[in-house]
Chain A
Amino acid sequence: MGIRERLSGNEAVAYAMKQINPDVMGAFPITPSTEIPQYFGAYVDNGEVDTEFVTVESEHSSMSVCIGAQAAGCRAVSATSSCGLSYMTEMLYVAASDRLPITLAVSCRALSGPININNDHSDAMSVRDTGWLMLFAETNQEAYDNYLQAMRIGEAVDLPIMICQDGFITSHAIENIELVETDKVKAFVGEYKPRHYLLNKDEPIAVGAYATPTYYIESKRLQAQAMMDAKDVIRKVGAEFGEMTGRRYELIEKYMMDDAETAVVIIGSSAGTAKAAVNELRESGKKVGLIKIRAFRPFPAEDIADALKNVKAFAAMDKSDSFNAHCGPLYAETCAALYANGVCAPKGINYIYGLGGRDVRVESIKTVFSELDKIAETGETGDTYRYLDVRE
């Protein structure tokens, strides 16, 4: 029934990689994800895995290594953060459009400038439209569990997948974790059986071909279909993982939402802090709740709309800004989800929070709920685009 351990989030991901024993890793270091290839490199060096560990000169190249390896028929992995992810961007589109289910661990970090090594979601959010599946973790446990489910999900729909966690906040923090026995991991993840691959002599194929206007949009339509199909796959794999471990996963997690009148929609480690705020407010009789986004790609529009349909007011919490003089990405997509599903009653506001490692406290989230209270009472949203815990 699992192995009781304590590991940092980076260690947990490296350990999951070790248990899976992928064929190829493209490795280039950047804070705060550096420890992942560092720990994994030690496993390679000790002969504990037989992964081809390819050290390169940049993230553009580490993703290119993954693309080449995965196209050949291998399971390929990498890890990165921040500007490293930005530098991969061109190749992220190539990986997704070539339908290569690569697994990329992201320890999320702010983008320059000012230069900053701490956590926010600017890096991951800036590549949200590259065609990758994206799962986010609240804890080290979830980073590990998501990683173990990643290949099952990506390979089922032929899309690459990012397993995101919060840089330093979980990547460098030791927490209790329950590991899955390696034989069970191997049985759960299974062998990679690519449908089409370059080293299959019986089926010569081209990868990365040019597409004229006659074909390009059909290719994109298929990619869009794969992303839609991924919703059910994520639910099924999450349920199967739950049967094995007792930890069941969906696209979103609803916390105290059944009778909630106000709610926050939030991603990553701050969801845990927000749960503590919800608990405290519940003790004083406030009907508050929380929706945690686990899958940002595909975006769980129906689930969010369903969870929010009865609240009076909600706040979508964005750990990145779109600099559109309007709102961050989570608010934009949450509102679109409500509109598309015919949910019009809840009043919604957006908070940009936690940028560049600004600490998110229980008190911070309680402030948000107290603003939501006012909105629920008066029906006046006021300014919908707000910054939290900022010196004005």
Chain B
Amino acid sequence: MKDIVEIRWHGRGGQGAKTASLLLADAAFNTGKYVQGFPEYGPERMGAPITAYNRISTERSTVHSNIYYPDFVVVVDETLLSSVDVTAGLKPEGAIVINSGKAPEQLRPLLKGYTGRVCTIDAGRISEEELGKNFPNTPMLAAIVKVSRVVDPEAFVKDMEASFRHKFASKPQVIEGNMRARKRSMEEVQVG
């Protein structure tokens, strides 16, 4: 891993992009990294576009600005592609991970000439099949870990399982569903 990896999340208010960025910070923290996980607060309301960020590094980053040249971008809501410049500043050696049932080559034309890897994962469908509800952020988190390797994927799975077993000790169905969703997401993410 590079000394510092910067990730930008695009979602809509209520979809959990902020929570996902905080969970990724947790996962990286648990592997010994320095982390930052923070949202950009605008006019908060359900459905409005929101942005969240992660810095994950081997040394403490003192920078407290937003991220303009991310290594990776995660798009939790495909409909944002037409309204938000999601690839702005995105490094070509990085990747964009989009929550979509479409293949990467179908989405690339919407990405303003982005030349790096375009990855898609049908996080909504996985979530509905495994959790019974549309909570895309668990599968999105797994997909960005797989694509970015900002955390070792195996360590990530173990760590999340341990934390879910602790958090949802009385709801084993939540744990199993989430574990299946994570595993499937890592297997099904398409890299184009």
- Residues of chain A having any CB pair with chain B under 8 Å: 6, 32, 117-118, 138-139, 166, 168-170, 172-176, 269-270, 272-273, 275-276, 357, 359-362
Contacts and interface: CB of A to CB of B under 8 A. Distances in A.
Interface of B: 22, 25-26, 29, 34-39, 41, 60-66, 68
With a 10 A CB-CB cut-off, give which of B29, B60, B63 has the most chain A CB atoms: B63
Contacts of A269: 64
Contact of A175 (B36, B65, B68): B36
A117 B44 CA distance: 10
Nearest to A166: B64
Given A6-B25, A6-B26, A6-B29, A174 B65 contact: no
Contacts of A117: 41
Given A117-B41, A168-B41, A174 B63 contact: no
A359 B34 contact: no
A283 to B, nearest CB: 15
A275 B62 contact: yes
A176 B38 contact: no
Nearest to B43: A117
Contacts of A273: 62-65
Contacts of A169: 38, 64
Nearest to B64: A269
16 contacts: A6-B35, A117-B41, A118-B41, A139-B62, A166-B64, A170-B64, A174-B25, A174-B26, A174-B35, A174-B36, A174-B38, A176-B35, A272-B64, A276-B62, A361-B66, A361-B68
Would you list the 7 A-B pairs with minimal beta carbon distance, nearest first?
Answer: A173-B38, A272-B62, A174-B37, A269-B64, A6-B29, A361-B65, A174-B25
A172 B41 contact: yes
B53 to A, nearest CB: 9
Nearest to B66: A359
A173 B66 CA distance: 11
B35 A359 contact: no
B60 A176 contact: yes
A360 B66 CA distance: 8
A270 B65 CA distance: 8
Contacts of A166: 64
Contacts of B41: 32, 117-118, 168, 172, 357
B63 A276 contact: yes
A170 B65 CA distance: 11
A270 B26 CA distance: 24
A359 B65 contact: yes
Contacts of A176: 29, 34-35, 60
Contacts of B66: 359, 361
Given A170-B64, A359-B66, 15 more contacts: A6-B26, A117-B41, A118-B41, A166-B64, A172-B39, A173-B64, A174-B26, A174-B35, A175-B34, A175-B35, A176-B35, A272-B62, A273-B65, A359-B65, A360-B64
Contacts of B38: 168-169, 172-174
A215 to B, nearest CB: 47
Contacts of B26: 6, 174
Contacts of A118: 41
Nearest to B29: A6
B96 to A, nearest CB: 22
With a 10 A CB-CB cut-off, give which of B22, B25, B29, B62 has the most chain A CB atoms: B62
Contact of B63 (A168, A170, A272, A357): A272
B37 A362 contact: no
A275 to B, nearest CB: 5
